[in-house]
Structures are given as structure tokens and as C-alpha cells.
Structure 1
């Protein structure tokens, strides 16, 4: 619970009182972010300054690094803009550092949003701006709604910002989709509803990113999909898992090392669905997967000798 402002107490005073309260920092996500902003990043909530913006060459470099993300996210950004732009919202896409790469807003609102710093090239990390919908989303790796005076800096308390993370096909943070509004009449329940829309949009982009990274693979939904993220697996022609989203890795306990060395979960989906994939090579790979690469165990699973399985592995060009 955040500190309750007293008569005549400024936003900066309220932030300081909350940060100094151990109870608040332990029970409120916003208070914990305020504490990071003030104690760890050394920010002053009363400081008056515009949002930090990078020079054009650095922005261009960031856009080049995130070219695939931008290309895949643009249709989703357009859909969000067509739905929310008329109500005075700005739609933003950032990289994993909180640097704004793309914005969608009405031309008539552009000057206002530029003044607020909600523009391409602005950095909205917690280290720069304190608690906000983009920076706190990056810091906590989860969707957040930062409504008006939940922002750290007093300059930002007219805004409401709803941010959701996008994770790349390797499970690493790729960027953030954010919808921001500077309307003072935007009430918290409506902001929370917008937050859900933003989270679903981020999941759609994450799914599209994953599918594009594994062309020719069979993409299947795994346990945990939709609860707190996108849980997808990419299976090759032999039904061996060659890719997994962040949520799938978490739920199925998959790591890069496991995926690279015949994961035990590689036949999970086939067994659950009762599928039989034809081909001796596929059977060998699935047996090795179940045995975590142990050739002797795979041979026992298949009911053949070690000599036979080694011969068959060599015939199919598989590494035993």
C-alpha cells in the first residue's frame, strides 16, 4: 500500500515517505519500483527535465538491431492504434532497454506526446525516468499498469502507461509494447482494461516472432499457454523439440543446453496426443531424446542391441 498524501504534501514527499517505509516497499510493486528509482538509480522525483533522447545515429542502430521485431510487430501496432488512437492514446514499441523505436498516434496529438517524451528516440528505462509503464515492465519482465501518480517523477503523473513485454524465440527480452494516455480523466479500471489488451497484443507479437524463427517446423501449444505468457514449441520432422518460448522453457524446464542435447521433453507432445510418426530415423531420435542421449538406454527402449543401434545411427547420420 502506498503512502497516503497528507494535506499539502507533494508527490515527491509522498514518494520519499513511501520509499522510507519498509512495509510499503515489501507489499507494493509500485513502492518497490519507487525504491529502486530513488535508492538504486539515485533519481529525484521532483527533478524537472525532459525525457532523455538519443541522437539519430544511435536510434538508427537500435532500429537495425530490432529490425525483425519492428517488422513483425507493425501490424499489431496498427491494430492497437486503429482501436485506441482516436481516444487520445499513443502506441509505442521499444527495445529491451526501453528505447522507443516506433510510435503510432493521431497527427493532432503528436506535439503533446512529443512534449511528454513519448516519441521515437526517447529512453523510458527506470534508470532514466523511474517508475513508468515501459521501464518498470523491462525491470520486472512482466506486464504493468502505471496509472498517473503511480509514476515516480512528478513530471509524469498526468500520464497512464500500460506496458507488456515481448520475449524473443530464445526466451530473452526483445522489447515492450506500451499504450500511453495523458488524459487526466482516464480512470484506473479503464487503464487496467487497456493493460489486458496490451498484454494480449504483446503475446501475439511474441507468437509471430517465434513462428518466423522456425520456418518449416511444426509449432504446437504447450502447457501453460495463455496464463502468464506464450507457451509454444517448435518440432522438427522427427518430432524433436528444436525451439521453445520463454514460458514453455519455464513450464517444461527446458534450457538451451537441454534443447541442444536431445531433451527429455522432446517426445512429450507426441505421447500426449498418441501420435505415431513414421520412419526409423525419427524413432531413433525420439528414443535418444527420451534417454537424454544415452545410447544404451535408447537401445533398451527400442528393444535392440547396442551394436544394432550404433549401426542404425551411423546409417542415418546420427551422432550417438
Structure 2
């Protein structure tokens, strides 16, 4: 806490500075920026340094409006923001990401300092515009369009002279200010030089986020990435150009725009990349094919400067055609039924590549993975994409069928075998799968005595129904799956080793959802299947990506189904997610704030004792009939979805948490 005398001294310094530009000659360039800001505060905004202003935190509604305006950007910036925070949090810094108007739309900080941070304005929804807060890193960065540190007494407002703040601008592909990245601390060394490293680190991450957003915006265009260093161009090429089909530059990142400005080309409506690099368009298009390392050297027109460039191929629309061909290293054939199961996760691509090779081979496959990772979905895709795809796919869960019934379910029975059985007997699942595929889920739970009979079917290609004398020839392909450790079951005498080798012609392993790199693709794919018209806002996507998903894809599917059912206006926000999806983010005050204002869709439906009118009962019965599917209920009642929600609130009917 700074003393009253320090504040008075600071106020007098600013007041005495007003109108005395000669003083700025003794300042370093960074102080020139601060001096200009002080002048704006005094003359343009009419701020009084002797009247400190409390931190201004905008309302939740206003905050949402600001977040919505940069929704796509927030989704891209999330990873960079969180990575930077992990670098600086142990040093006492908090992180603010503001929009171009100075409103903090994302914030990361230590919840133990929550009250102090809120009072200082280092908080979600804080207004750091220069017009309101005076000289500050965020507000002055917006005005000056360049990175700076606003250290202690650099601040205009005397209540901020204990803070140190460092900010860097983030611009959109057209060069307009999009956001400001800031790291701040409540306490710091008195010397401004102590923040030099903070300035460089903030600028680095601002550039990384800016470039990530550029790549996102122009992901469907050919992108030329280049750098002065051949060795670094593929991992950290600093110049990015988005190109059209003729080689004209559609957009450029900050570093590339600086080059165009240097050559006086930045104001021209059309600039051809081949003319800029003194080459032919075909020379750029052939980089990947003609060069050994995927890069090629180019001379910048009119200079002696050499740039090494590479191409980033356009990515197809994520939802209509998953990017698979480049991810596969050993199998390039497109198999839609399998390709749609993953995007660019390395483990999944390896599994899918192997599945493609083996889908038409007469070899049994064992699919391993945690519960809910999609073992049956993979088995169905293998069957559908195989030569057996037009025949039956029979699935049996060995853990779900009672032990007393599993034998008859699998092998069938002859007439008269059971009292009360069908007079003509019944075909078992093995016989029903003839010509197709038999999927044995949770094979590790199959009783030991049935393992012997199954082994005989696999070895001889024949099945003997219960009570029958003559075996029946069958042509089946067996796919088995388990989440158990088969080696441990064999060691414990609970699984036959010879059956294991019969089933394990090859092993396909599915990673846990938390370990997958393509969670974004899975979330969007599942949501499109549930309701193609609903979109996910960035705050919801961030929470879903951060959660660890112990129930894997099955839990994700249930979560999205629940969120879609309770969302309004066809948009899912963090408000609509179950409570457990935000436990992982409990350190993030931004999400805590959003949760405090979220609607409470977590209870059971209205109790029967609370029913007070026939209309209330009719609505409740309709919702139950459709298993709480709001769209289906609205269709039956011939009203809109918002009307159903409005009536639910009127009658105090609350959606159950577990759908």
C-alpha cells in the first residue's frame, strides 16, 4: 500500500508536467510514450490526478457483449493465454486480455488475491481504456499501438502507482487492433529495467496468438510462410501471406505487412507474391515437390534480402471433409467411415491407418481402450468399410448379458431345448452374423466355460446350438473389445491364453479422450449430429477442452446432449454445461464469475406435489414423454423452443441433470 505522501508527490509530478514538453527530452523513448499519455489525460480527457478513480468493472451483460464480439478470437487465443500465464504466475503476475476498447474479456489470476485484484481493476470485465483509467499499459497500448511497460509511477492514477503492467497489441489480418495482451503485478521492483524480460515475453506471446488467429482466419487459403532463416522457417517463420488462386496476397500478418510497408507496397490494392519475390507463380506452387526439406530461397524484389519460404496447404472444411490424407503416413486411401472418427490426433491416425489396412483381411481384431472411448463405433466403422459391410453386424456386450443367458444368446438353441423356449428354436448371434461381423464387447467378462466354446467356433468355423446334434457352418469375422488388462486376466486364470491369440490377430488401441489432440473436432462433430443449428461459444469450448473427461467420448456426448437441451437462442455457453465440466477451471476467476450468473438447470423436475394446474401437468407429461427433448416437445405443442422454456420457468419445471 502506497502512502499518502507518495500519492501527493505523484500528483504534483503529473500536474507540473502538464504543458512542459521540454521535460520530455530527458526521458527515454518509453517515457515519451508515457508523457504523451499524461498529456492526453490532462488536456483531452480532462482527468484530475488528485481525484483517483475506483476500478470500473462492467456488468455481466456488457461483458458478454464484449466477449461475443471477439468470440472466434478468444477461442484461438485460449491456448496462448494459458501458456503465458503458466510462465509468469509463479512470479506474482496476473494475465489480462482486453478487446480493442480496453475491456478485459479474459483474465487469469490467483484466487487467493481475488479481493485485492478486484479492487485494483486486475479483473474480468475491468475497463482499462485511457479515457477512464488514465495512463496504463492496456489503455496506452491501445492509443499508441505498440508494446510498452507502465511501471509504478508511470500510471496517471495515483491509486495505481504500486502496479507494474506490460502490454502488447494483437492485430487482425487487416492490421486493425484486435486485442491487447497484458501481464500485471500488484507488487514489483522499483526499477523499470526489472520488466524488460516481461516486455519481451508478452510481445512474443502476442505475436504467437496473432499468427494463430491469422492461420485460423485463412485456413481455407494457401499460406506462404517465410523467414530470414531456413532452419527456423518451418517452426517459427515470422512472415505469413494468405494467397488467392492467382498468387495475389489476400492478407498478411504484422511482420509481413512491415515488409510491404518497407517496399511502399502496403497501400496497393493488389500485390502479387511472385512479383514481390522475383519468381514465377509455379515456382511457389512447386516448393513441396521440388525441394528436399519443403523450403525454397527467394530474393525480395529490389533488395538483397533473401527469404526462405514454405507452403501451408489449405485445410478443407472441418465438418464436411476431415483432414486425413496428410496425417496418414502409410495409407493414403480415403475411407470415409473411418476417416470421420478423428482429425489430426497422432494416436488415432495410426489406429485408423491400421484399421484401413486390415478391414478386408480375414483376421480377428482386438480393440483396446477405456470405457467410453468408442470401441463399438470403431468396430462398426471397420465393418461398414469392409467387403462384409452389406451383411449383418451383430454386437453383444459380454458384461451386460446375464451369465445364464449368454450361452443361448451367442450359440442359439434347438427346438425343445428349454421349457418355455421357442418351438422352432432360435438362432444365436453367431449364426445371425453369418457373412458379416460379430462384435464381442467387454470380452474380458465372458465366463470361462464359454470361452472354450467360442474358441471352437473360431478354430472350426462351425457353431453348435444348445441341444443340437449337428454343427452349422458359419462365416464370420470377429472383432472383440475390452477395457481390461488381458495379460492380468490370463495370469489369474480367468481368460484362456489360446483364445486371446485367436482374437488378437492385431490390436487397435483407442486413446483416452483427455489425451487426444483433436478434441475440438470431436466436440463439433458430436454437436452437429445432435443439432446442426446450435453453436458453441468460446467460453463453453474452452471449458470442454480443459476438462479431463473420465467418461471419455460417451460422457462428452451426454454433456453436449444436455447442453443442447437447455440452451436458448441456439447457442451453448459455459452456463449450460454441467457443474463437473468446470471443476478443472476453478482457478480461473473468469469462469467462476460466469458460473455465479449461470441458470440453475441442475435439479430434478417439478415434484408431483407441486403441480398446481392442468397446463403445468400437460407440459411436464410432454417433456417426460420426449425424454426432455425440448425441440420434440415444442413440435408436439406447436410452439417455439423459447416458449417451452418460458413456460418451464413459469411453472418452475427444471430439467434433470442426468439426461
Band the TM-score falls in, shorter-chain normalisation: 0.7 to 0.9
- 1:222: how far off? 5.6
- 1:241: how far off? 1.6
Match of 1:240 in 2: 248
Alignment of 1:59-98 (within 5 A): 59-98=63-102
- 1:140: how far off? 0.3
Determine if the alignment matches structure 1 residue 11 to structure 2 residue 10. yes
Q: Normalising by structure 2, what TM-score? A: 0.38
Task: Give CA-to-partner distance per residue, 1:24-79, whole Å, 9 cap, x none.
Answer: 34662211111111111111112133122222111101100101111111111111
Alignment of 1:252-267 (within 5 A): 252=260, 253-255=264-266, 258-259=269-270, 263-265=271-273, 267=275
Q: Is the 8 A contact 1:224 1:247 kept in 2?
A: no
Task: Give CA-to-partner distance per residue, 1:214-255, whole Å, 9 cap, x none.
Answer: 113332346899xxxx64211234433221224433431445
Match of 2:183 in 1: 179
Gaps in structure 2 of 5+ consecutive residues: 230-237, 287-300, 302-659
SS of corresponding position for 1:134: helix
Equivalences, count: 269
Q: Is the 8 A contact 1:46 1:155 kept in 2?
A: no
Q: Is the 8 A contact 2:249 2:272 kept in 1?
A: no
**Does the C-alpha gap of structure 1 residues 268 and 7 become closer, same or farther in structure 2, counting only changes over 3 Å?**
closer
Q: Is the 8 A contact 2:151 2:165 kept in 1?
A: yes
Of 114, 117, 126, the residue aligned with 1:113 is 117
**Does the C-alpha gap of structure 1 residues 23 and 10 become closer, same or farther in structure 2, counting only changes over 3 Å?**
same
Of 180, 196, 218, the residue aligned with 2:200 is 196
**Does the C-alpha gap of structure 1 residues 9 and 45 become closer, same or farther in structure 2, counting only changes over 3 Å?**
closer
Determine if the alignment matches structure 1 residue 100 to structure 2 residue 104. yes
Q: Which has the larger radius of gyration?
A: 2
Question: Partners of 2:122 and 2:7 in 1: how far apart?
Answer: 30
**Does the C-alpha gap of structure 1 residues 7 and 275 become closer, same or farther in structure 2, counting only changes over 3 Å?**
closer
Q: Is the 8 A contact 1:223 1:248 kept in 2?
A: no
**Does the C-alpha gap of structure 1 residues 187 and 213 become closer, same or farther in structure 2, counting only changes over 3 Å?**
same
Question: Partners of 2:93 and 2:280 in 1: how far apart?
Answer: 44
Gaps in structure 1 of 5+ consecutive residues: 1-5, 279-289, 291-320
Q: Is the 8 A contact 2:7 2:159 kept in 1?
A: no
**Does the C-alpha gap of structure 1 residues 277 and 198 become closer, same or farther in structure 2, counting only changes over 3 Å?**
closer
Q: Is the 8 A contact 1:233 1:243 kept in 2?
A: yes
- 1:264: how far off? 4.5
Question: Partners of 1:87 and 1:114 in 2: how far apart?
Answer: 19
SS of corresponding position for 1:275: helix
Question: Partners of 1:155 and 1:169 in 2: how far apart?
Answer: 37
Question: Partners of 2:98 and 2:70 in 1: how far apart?
Answer: 9
Match of 1:269 in 2: 277
- Range moving further from structure 2, 106-115 or 269-278: 269-278
Match of 1:284 in 2: none
Question: Partners of 2:150 and 2:280 in 1: how far apart?
Answer: 41
**Does the C-alpha gap of structure 1 residues 218 and 276 become closer, same or farther in structure 2, counting only changes over 3 Å?**
closer
Question: Partners of 1:169 and 1:161 in 2: how far apart?
Answer: 26
Determine if the alignment matches structure 1 residue 164 to structure 2 residue 172. no
Match of 2:144 in 1: 140
Q: Is the 8 A contact 2:53 2:157 kept in 1?
A: no
**Does the C-alpha gap of structure 1 residues 224 and 20 become closer, same or farther in structure 2, counting only changes over 3 Å?**
farther
Task: Give CA-to-partner distance per residue, 1:273-301, whole Å, 9 cap, x none.
Answer: 992647xxxxxxxxxxx9xxxxxxxxxxx
**Does the C-alpha gap of structure 1 residues 276 and 255 become closer, same or farther in structure 2, counting only changes over 3 Å?**
closer
Question: Partners of 1:22 and 1:186 in 2: how far apart?
Answer: 25
SS of corresponding position for 1:258: coil
Q: Normalising by structure 1, what TM-score? A: 0.76
Q: Is the 8 A contact 1:224 1:251 kept in 2?
A: no
Greater relative CO, 1 or 2 (CA 8 Å, sep 6+): 1
**Does the C-alpha gap of structure 1 residues 187 and 276 become closer, same or farther in structure 2, counting only changes over 3 Å?**
closer
Match of 1:218 in 2: 222
RMSD (CA atoms): 3.0
**Does the C-alpha gap of structure 1 residues 18 and 209 become closer, same or farther in structure 2, counting only changes over 3 Å?**
same
**Does the C-alpha gap of structure 1 residues 210 and 153 become closer, same or farther in structure 2, counting only changes over 3 Å?**
same
- 1:272: how far off? 9.0
